[in-house]
Chain A
Amino acid sequence: MVRFENVSMVYPGGDQRAIDDMSFTIEDGEFVFLVGPSGSGKTSIIKLITGEVEANAGELWVNGFDLRHIRRGKIPAMRRTIGVIFQDFRLIEDKTIYDNVAFAMHVVGATNKDIRRRVPYVLDLVGLSGREKRYPREISGGEQQRVAVARAIVNSPQLLIADEPTGNLDPARSLELMLLMDRINEMGTTVLVVTHEKELVNSFSKRVVAIEDGQVISDGMDGYYSYEIE
């Protein structure tokens, strides 16, 4: 669960509020699109949730962690409850597909036995069986993004965040990826997708939170991306 309560945030050295008195809640098991133009605060919201930046005011809870009062040493534990995927995939170039996913399990101290069982299962789930020994540069963009998804979900996180996940994919691959995210959501993981691809959002009947200038300007369950991007 993610809960923003009157959260404000100013970047160090900045004078404008990147997030301005923002409040919204994402319940466990929800699938939410977060939409808005560039510079509206989408990335800031992700950075706040993952603990990369700190809020200056308000209450902020993520998966039971009070991020306004969390000790720095607890941040890795908090991050392990979240899986994140990015527009640029962010895979480790000199690790194989298998190792890119497996190392996320090593991070949380999983046993080798669990890793050998779980990684092939997750790679199969994202449709990458048989690609284990390839390196990121040897597979397509769509496949790389699915590796990123596999890495994000391999530790069964409570929350999956996708930051413009389809930015580097063609429409067909984008739709495939969204269907995959939907499936992951059906398996119980909360999913938050940050995007500005209107058609993609509108082809799913999901909750859409629109933001602008660091504030929530609409929050609807009708799955309609009413916000117009300039």
Chain B
Amino acid sequence: MKSSKIGYLINEGFKSILTHGFMSFATVTIVIACLVIMGSFSLIAVNISAMLDELEASNEVVAYVEETLPEDEARALQDDVEYISNVSTAQFVTREEAMEEFAAQYDDDTLFQDVEASVFRDRYVIYLEDISLMAQTKADLEGIPGIAKVNAYLEVAEGFVTVRNVVSAVSLILVVVLVVVSIFIMANTIKLATYSRREEIAIMKMVGASNWFIRFPFVVEGLVLGLLGGALGFLLEWGIYDVVTNRIMTGLMGNLISVIPFASFSTAVLAVYLGVGVVVGAFGSSIAIRNYLRV
């Protein structure tokens, strides 16, 4: 294949974007709209998931050591505790530290002056990998000789698991529905754009153009429009995300929830947007004109 021919076909693709300005505009707009709607829902889901992670991580389990064990033996249980697979971190807390911590919760220092540290027990403050396995981990901890009692908020953990499952299911369904709707809309836009060109395709066939010769400029055109839609969609998404998160952070809810800054996943979002743009543009136009090539 001569490079001049490829150059001509690429040039034809670009020219066609300009000569069919309105259709190009419509296609890019639809791609942007679909990407931003899909992307926004996905980003909301990602944020909710991150918030749940944070809340889950703060959900601790406390394992109390037998009162009769001296401190060195109590410390020696660390390995046994950490050996349990679901344990993420286990921090040993002495009775004295526990008392100080307890006393610190109250303003009046004199209140606990006479209290002996011995009324407290040595303990491990444990954070879990997966809070849905909390009940099992609690049982495992209780099975360790030297551990007297394990305090775990099973109901809270179950509540988190339920919320997470519901959020995951809802966001998955929403994203899938939006993806399907978006593909349908984009396919139809491309079909509409190529429908007006069927006469042109018929003329090309009549002159003896091979299928790839006809398809090539369309693919170039679709590729460029898809990339343009992806890039502009990304910028728009970025803007919307920043505006919305700023509102949230400076508003009343700012203390309650934290949002992930856009920069931390901007590369991934850009890659997905451009990827979707390329696939939809190139394959979409290629498939859409297939019907007109059968002459």
A-B contact list, 16 entries, CB within 8 Å: A52-B295, A76-B208, A76-B209, A79-B208, A84-B206, A90-B199, A90-B203, A94-B19, A94-B20, A104-B207, A107-B207, A107-B209, A107-B213, A109-B5, A111-B4, A151-B207
Is B290 engaged at the interface, CB distance under 8 Å to the other chain? Answer: no
CB-defined contacts of B210 to chain A, threshold 8 Å? 73, 76
Please give, as numbers and ranges, the residues of chain A lying within 8 Å of B2 by CB-CB distance.
109, 111
User: Which residue of B4, B20, B208, B295 is within 8 Å of A107 (Cβ)?
Assistant: B208
* A-B pair number, CB within 8 angstroms: 44
Given known contacts A80-B207, A90-B202, A91-B203, what 16 new A-B pairs fall within 8 Å (CB)? A52-B295, A76-B209, A77-B208, A79-B205, A79-B207, A82-B208, A90-B203, A90-B206, A94-B20, A103-B207, A106-B5, A106-B8, A107-B204, A107-B207, A107-B209, A112-B8
Tally of chain A residues near chain B (CB < 8 A): 23
A218 vs B206: C-alpha distance in the bound complex, in angstroms?
A: 29
Chain B interface size range: 10 to 19
Question: Are B206 and A50 in contact (CB-based, < 8 A)?
Answer: yes
**What 0/1 readout, one digit per residue, does chain B (1-45) give for beta carbons within 8 Å of chain A?**
010110010000000000110000000000000000000000000
- CA of A50 to CA of B202, assembled, Å: 12
State in angstroms the CA–CA spacing of A107 and B206 once bound together. 11
The answer to whether B129 has its CB under 8 Å from any CB of chain A is no
Closest 4 pairs between A and B when the two form their complex, measured CB to CB = A79-B208, A80-B208, A94-B19, A107-B209
Q: Is B71 an interface residue (CB 8 A)?
A: no
A103 to B20 CA separation, bound complex (whole angstroms): 18
Say if the beta carbon of B73 comes within 8 Å of chain A. no
A87 CB to nearest B CB, Å: 14
Q: Does A70 contact B (CB under 8 A)?
A: no
Pairwise interchain contact B206-A79, C-beta atoms closer than 8 A: yes
CB distance from A110 to the nearest CB of B (A): 9
A92 within 8 A of B: yes
A179 at the interface (CB under 8 A from B): no
| Per-residue interface assignment for chain B, residues 67 to 91, with 1 indicating a CB less than 8 Å from any chain A CB and 0 otherwise | 0000000000000000000000000
Look across to chain A and name the residue whose beta carbon is closest to the beta carbon of B1.
A109
- Bound-complex Cα distance A103 to B5 (A): 11
Contact flags A65-79 to B (C-beta < 8 A → 1, else 0): 000000001001111
Docked pose: A111 CA to B4 CA in angstroms: 7
Decide yes or no whether A217 CB sits under 8 A from chain B.
Answer: no
B200 at the interface (CB under 8 A from A): yes
Neighbouring B residues of A84 by C-beta, 8 Å: 206
